[in-house]
Structure 1
Amino acid sequence: MGACGRARLVARRAQHASRQPCVAVRAEKKEYYDYKDMPPLPLTVTRIHIPKLDYTVVSKQNEEMRLASLAIFYDIYKDEQYKSRLTRKSAMTALCMYDRDDVEEAQKAPGDYPNIDLLFRVYNQGMDLEFEVEEFMPK
């Protein structure tokens, strides 16, 4: 790389470093939430589904283990700033709600934490996905 190329590269890096983020994400305020900050568990939700991918995030009919995903995805669904969509912004917020150890383990062992894998995919690929929450009404 010539001197001009290096100068442009240095100038471009300086420009990127001085930029302020244009969108504030809740996750930027804290590196990771801890358990006391976990959203409440929605008791009326039976399933969370992403139609475009034909992917079920969690279904209470056959899974009792993904309670963190149930609470986190429902929190994103109900938050007005995300408009019931998985985007880079909402995926980053959701990732920061998971336990740090689970996120790190998901990065080391792809496939072991499919919902965390999905959030990384949404974030890395800049996807924009609508998701649905099925609820029952208690009597």
Structure 2
Amino acid sequence: MPRHVLRCAAMTSFIRNVSFDCPDPYALAGFWSEVVGHRLDPGFAPGDAEVVIEAPDGPRLYFQAVPEDKTVKNRVHVCLQPSDRDRDAEVDQLLALGATVFDDRRTPGGDGWVVLLDPAGNEFCLTRSAAERA
């Protein structure tokens, strides 16, 4: 069997969380709450060491306080696809929420993606919408 082919095991796992290390979990969760359109649970408050966004249609977003600053590139990151507007309009919205552009990979023909940083410096990508891909 080629190395790249994986066998299906009888036991499987699912993605419970996408975790974000950050200095202020409540503030960063507030940013991501706006990005994904899911409200923060009122049980969380500023100063909490852990904050969770429960998404009914995907994994939870989990934010945890850590003492150290981010120093290197993320090895795993979130890739977003706009659901109700085009990529460039979504980039503008994300910038208004507090994201910054880290690397712009858009091409003159309309392909590509944008690598952004959330307010804690975590990389995430924004690709073209389904309508733009059609």
Structure 1 or 2: larger strand share? 2
Structure 1 or 2: larger helix share? 1
Structure scoring higher RCO (CA < 8 A, sep ≥ 6) equals 1
TM-score category, normalised to shorter length = under 0.3
Q: TM-score, normalised by structure 2?
A: 0.26
Q: TM-score, normalised by structure 1?
A: 0.25
Question: Rg larger in 1 or in 2?
Answer: 1
